Amino acid sequence: METYIVIDACTLINLLRIEENRFITDKLLSLNLKIASKVFEEINNRVFVNQIDVEQMDYIKSIIYLFRDYVKQDETLPECYLNDIQSFLNYNKKNGELYSTALSLFTSRNDFSKVYFYTDDFPAKEQFEEYFNYQQIGYIGDSVDLICFLYCIFDNEHFTKQQLKDYLQNLKSQYNPLKTIISELEKISTIIDKTQKVLKNKIIKVVDNFYDNNIDKIIKDIDDLSKVEQYSIKNIFQKYPTVNSNMLKGIPIIEKINDRLRKLDKFDLFKYSNPLC
């Protein structure tokens, strides 16, 4: 029985934003990958919407076309599948998650296969999981699961445990709600007056802890920095009044990544190429 990968817009966008030198792209394209045409449309509409630097934008533009050959036109999917999914789940939206689920069902039946569908839309993941289980289509995971799956199927020469940890850390930064404020603090640190050395060091400390994914220290540093009366700093916290340390608490994917990283320090994640201890 074959295995296929169906991927949603948010998952592919996150992976493209954190990869270097087509590290993940080439691995995905070597698999039985399928993308619903609605999803590919959403990817092109959303990939450059959130904060992204010029270098990252140029990189994604240079590789996004590679995924076109893996797009399945939604018009070719049986209408009865779409209707059944919507009726079963009482789901009225015609979005990427719906067409990805229909594509997964079609693939599992047409190709007599198991399908792994990856989406970072967590409410949709929970909702469509019931249909996946009922129809015995396969499995629904998120970008954390997909990165771990890629690690398992490629040998150590092509994907090391340290690279796995690094990519999980990078993925975590994509979901950190402080990303926007950190970017502004970085800009301020480059232009701040030399006489304000103490303040500059505080900003650098916050930024460094963010990129090191040191959550506990970020929480304390952000709270301390929010009390600073310097105009530029005060202006940032006025611009983002909801930014505070509580934003880092209870984010499911960040908690999942932290849990996965803790487990990776304790336990092996066995590769398919070397299933024995």
Tens-digit pLDDT profile for residues 116-174: 999 999 888 999 999 999 999 999 999 999 999 999 999 989 999 999 999 998 898 88
The mean pLDDT of 86-95, rounded to a whole number, is 94
Task: Judge whether residue 242 has pLDDT over 80.
Answer: no
Q: How confident is the model at residue 260 (pLDDT cuts 50, 70, 90)?
A: very high
Task: Judge whether residue 245 has pLDDT over 80.
Answer: no
Radius of gyration, CA atoms only, the chain: 21
Averaged confidence pLDDT in the chain:
87
Q: What is the pTM of this model?
A: 0.82
Distance between CA 208 and CA 47 in Å, rounded? Answer: 26
Task: Judge whether residue 180 has pLDDT over 80.
Answer: no
pLDDT, one tens digit per residue, over 188-202 is 877 777 677 888 888
Q: What pLDDT sits at residue 189?
A: 78
* DSSP string across the chain: -EEEEEE-HHHHHHHHHH-STTHHHHHHHTS-EEEEHHHHHHHHHHTTTS---HHHHHHHHHHGGGGGGGEE-GGGS-HHHHHHHHHHHT----SHHHHHHHHHHHHHHHTTEEEEEE---HHHHHHHHHHHHHHT-EEEE-HHHHHHHHHHHS-TTTS-HHHHHHHHHHHHHHH-TTHHHHHHHHHHHHHS-TT-HHHHHHHHHHHHHHHTT-HHHHHHHHHHHTT---HHHHHHHHHSTT-SGGGGSS-HHHHHHHHHHHHHHHS---BTTB---
The percentage of residues in the chain with a pLDDT greater than 70, rounded to a whole number, is 91
The crossing angle, in degrees rounded to 10, of helices 37-46 and 9-18 is: 50
Q: What pLDDT sits at residue 216?
A: 67
